[in-house]
């Protein structure tokens, strides 16, 4: 089983990094490839790239013809297609994904590679059989509250953790899990933040042990199944 680690962790003291370290420790001895988005920055859709992409999906440009403007996107897409498990490790920025992480999703969500339209007008994800794990930390609390700032934001403010899981679902991943280390606000004591982080790390360890056959799941969220679960922690 091959695992692809996609990480965007510009802060050397990142709490998300500690969650990822726990995953790597539990998955040691397995085949792991890493993509560091701080070093290998995804391309944005330029005029040339967008023209090439639409030329490809409309069959105006044969798929076997290389398109230089899409070269990095194609490479990252093939990297994703070659793995069995993908682990995305990123912080939440301003209620959503960092721009670099969103650019990675835009790079790999390519029609004909990771999804297809179907005659019913919906879309068919092509990444069936694969698993995805989203590791994220955030200052605010999003799993509870009524959506107001006074209640520590609440679910309606989460457009990062939920979006990452939705993107994987769109591509057809068969099992999607997520661990959101929330409530890491600087206003909280270090003891409280350490406790919250420890709880998230234990959840990461449990999921990893389940997936890599070390011991059964004890804690952690249920497998991400139908669309009604989108955005749930």
Question: What is d(CA 38, CA 12) in angstroms, rounded to the nearest whole number?
Answer: 12
Question: What is d(CA 7, CA 104) in angstroms, rounded to the nearest whole number?
Answer: 10
Question: What is d(CA 70, CA 73) in angstroms, rounded to the nearest whole number?
Answer: 5
Task: Please say whether the beta carbons of 30 and 59 come within 8 A.
Answer: no
Whether residue 168 is annotated as binding a ligand: the answer is no
The residues near 61 (Cβ < 8 Å, ≥ 6 apart) are 52, 55, 67
Whether residue 92 is annotated as binding a ligand: the answer is yes
Angle at 170 between CA 174 and CA 9, to 5 degrees: 85
The residues near 56 (Cβ < 8 Å, ≥ 6 apart) are 63, 67, 70, 112
Binding-site residue numbers for FMN are: 92-95
Binding-site residue numbers are: 92-95
């Amino acid at each position: 089983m091959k695992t692809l680690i996609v990480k965007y962790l510009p802060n050397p003291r990142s709490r998300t990094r500690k969650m990822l370290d726990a995953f790597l420790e539990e998955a040691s001895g397995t085949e792991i490839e890493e993509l560091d988005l701080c070093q290998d920055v995804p391309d944005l859709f330029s005029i040339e790239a967008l023209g090439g992409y639409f030329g490809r999906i409309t069959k105006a440009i044969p798929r076997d013809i290389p398109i230089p403007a899409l070269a990095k996107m194609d490479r990252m897409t093939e990297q994703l297609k070659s793995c069995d498990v993908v682990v995305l490790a990123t912080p939440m920025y301003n209620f959503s994904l960092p721009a670099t992480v969103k650019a990675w999703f835009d790079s790999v969500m390519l029609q004909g590679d990771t999804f297809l339209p179907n005659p019913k007008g919906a879309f068919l994800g092509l990444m069936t059989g694969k698993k995805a794990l989203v590791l994220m930390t955030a200052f605010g609390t999003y799993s509870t509250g009524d959506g107001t700032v006074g209640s520590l934001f609440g679910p309606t403010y989460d457009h990062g953790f939920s979006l990452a899981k939705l993107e994987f679902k769109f591509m057809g991943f068969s099992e999607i899990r997520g661990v959101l280390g929330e409530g890491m606000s600087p206003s909280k004591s270090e003891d409280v933040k350490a406790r919250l982080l420890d709880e998230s790390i234990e959840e990461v360890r449990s999921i990893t042990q389940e997936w890599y056959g070390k011991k059964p799941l004890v804690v952690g969220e249920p497998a991400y199944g139908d669309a009604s679960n989108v955005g749930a922690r």
